[in-house]
Amino acid sequence: MKDIVEQFPEPRPAYTTTSTMLKRMCDKQYIGFKRLGRDKEYYAILKKNDYFSTQVNGMITHFFNDSKSQFASFFTKNTDLSMSELEELQQLLQDKINQKKKQ
Protein backbone atom coordinates (compact mmCIF):
# COMPACT_ATOMS: atom_id res chain seq x y z
CA MET A 1 0.00 0.00 0.00
CA LYS A 2 2.92 2.30 0.69
CA ASP A 3 3.96 2.04 -2.98
CA ILE A 4 0.44 2.94 -4.11
CA VAL A 5 0.13 5.95 -1.78
CA GLU A 6 3.52 7.24 -2.94
CA GLN A 7 2.23 7.39 -6.54
CA PHE A 8 -0.25 10.15 -5.60
CA PRO A 9 0.76 13.82 -5.71
CA GLU A 10 0.80 15.85 -2.49
CA PRO A 11 -1.33 15.97 -0.47
CA ARG A 12 -1.42 12.19 -0.56
CA PRO A 13 -4.50 10.32 0.61
CA ALA A 14 -4.45 8.72 4.04
CA TYR A 15 -3.49 5.06 4.26
CA THR A 16 -6.96 4.33 5.66
CA THR A 17 -8.58 5.94 2.61
CA THR A 18 -6.39 3.94 0.26
CA SER A 19 -7.01 0.75 2.22
CA THR A 20 -10.79 1.28 2.03
CA MET A 21 -10.60 1.91 -1.72
CA LEU A 22 -8.52 -1.23 -2.28
CA LYS A 23 -10.87 -3.33 -0.15
CA ARG A 24 -13.88 -2.12 -2.14
CA MET A 25 -12.10 -2.86 -5.42
CA CYS A 26 -11.31 -6.37 -4.14
CA ASP A 27 -14.93 -6.86 -3.03
CA LYS A 28 -16.11 -5.89 -6.52
CA GLN A 29 -13.47 -8.23 -7.98
CA TYR A 30 -11.80 -5.44 -9.95
CA ILE A 31 -8.48 -6.35 -8.33
CA GLY A 32 -7.02 -9.22 -6.37
CA PHE A 33 -3.99 -9.60 -4.15
CA LYS A 34 -1.51 -12.12 -2.93
CA ARG A 35 0.12 -11.99 0.45
CA LEU A 36 3.83 -11.38 0.70
CA GLY A 37 4.46 -11.75 4.40
CA ARG A 38 2.67 -8.81 6.03
CA ASP A 39 2.31 -7.00 2.71
CA LYS A 40 -0.11 -7.50 -0.15
CA GLU A 41 0.69 -7.35 -3.84
CA TYR A 42 -2.35 -6.14 -5.80
CA TYR A 43 -3.10 -7.10 -9.41
CA ALA A 44 -5.88 -6.39 -11.89
CA ILE A 45 -8.62 -8.95 -12.38
CA LEU A 46 -11.08 -6.98 -14.47
CA LYS A 47 -9.92 -6.22 -17.99
CA LYS A 48 -9.95 -2.57 -19.02
CA ASN A 49 -12.30 -3.22 -21.94
CA ASP A 50 -14.78 -5.08 -19.71
CA TYR A 51 -14.77 -2.23 -17.16
CA PHE A 52 -15.18 0.41 -19.87
CA SER A 53 -18.03 -1.52 -21.49
CA THR A 54 -19.88 -1.80 -18.16
CA GLN A 55 -19.46 1.92 -17.48
CA VAL A 56 -20.62 3.01 -20.94
CA ASN A 57 -23.64 0.68 -20.84
CA GLY A 58 -24.55 2.08 -17.42
CA MET A 59 -24.28 5.62 -18.75
CA ILE A 60 -26.48 4.73 -21.74
CA THR A 61 -29.07 3.18 -19.42
CA HIS A 62 -29.17 6.05 -16.92
CA PHE A 63 -28.60 9.14 -19.09
CA PHE A 64 -29.90 8.16 -22.52
CA ASN A 65 -33.05 6.21 -21.61
CA ASP A 66 -31.36 2.94 -22.56
CA SER A 67 -31.11 4.19 -26.16
CA LYS A 68 -27.82 3.52 -27.88
CA SER A 69 -28.88 5.68 -30.82
CA GLN A 70 -29.48 8.67 -28.49
CA PHE A 71 -26.01 8.14 -27.07
CA ALA A 72 -24.45 7.94 -30.55
CA SER A 73 -26.36 11.05 -31.64
CA PHE A 74 -25.21 12.98 -28.56
CA PHE A 75 -21.64 11.78 -29.01
CA THR A 76 -21.41 12.81 -32.67
CA LYS A 77 -23.16 16.16 -32.18
CA ASN A 78 -21.31 17.23 -29.05
CA THR A 79 -17.74 16.26 -29.86
CA ASP A 80 -15.45 17.93 -32.33
CA LEU A 81 -14.70 14.91 -34.50
CA SER A 82 -12.33 15.35 -37.41
CA MET A 83 -13.26 14.24 -40.92
CA SER A 84 -11.04 11.16 -40.60
CA GLU A 85 -12.67 10.23 -37.28
CA LEU A 86 -16.14 10.62 -38.81
CA GLU A 87 -15.10 8.46 -41.76
CA GLU A 88 -13.69 5.85 -39.38
CA LEU A 89 -16.99 5.81 -37.47
CA GLN A 90 -18.88 5.51 -40.72
CA GLN A 91 -16.77 2.51 -41.70
CA LEU A 92 -17.25 0.89 -38.30
CA LEU A 93 -21.02 1.34 -38.61
CA GLN A 94 -21.04 -0.03 -42.15
CA ASP A 95 -19.02 -3.06 -41.06
CA LYS A 96 -21.45 -3.69 -38.20
CA ILE A 97 -24.45 -3.32 -40.55
CA ASN A 98 -22.92 -5.82 -42.97
CA GLN A 99 -22.18 -8.23 -40.12
CA LYS A 100 -25.80 -8.01 -38.86
CA LYS A 101 -27.16 -8.59 -42.37
CA LYS A 102 -25.15 -11.83 -42.64
CA GLN A 103 -26.68 -13.16 -39.44
Q: What is the number of other CB atoms lying within 10 angstroms of the CB of residue 93?
A: 11
Mean pLDDT of the chain: 93
What does the alpha-carbon distance between residue 93 and residue 27 come to, in Å, rounded to a whole number?
A: 37
Residues 45 and 31: beta-carbon distance below 8 Å: yes
Task: List, in sequence order, every residue forming a beta bridge with 9; answer none if it has no partner.
Answer: none
Task: List, in sequence order, every residue forming a beta bridge with 35; answer none if it has no partner.
Answer: 40
- pLDDT tens-digit readout, 9-56: 999 999 999 999 999 999 999 999 999 999 999 999 999 999 999 999
Q: What are the domain boundaries of the chain?
A: 2-44, 48-102
**Residue 66 reports pLDDT greater than 90:** yes
Give the pLDDT band of residue 2 (cuts 50, 70, 90): confident
Residues 59 and 67: beta-carbon distance below 8 Å: no
Which residues are CB-neighbours of 41 under 8 A, at least 6 positions away? Answer: 33, 34, 35
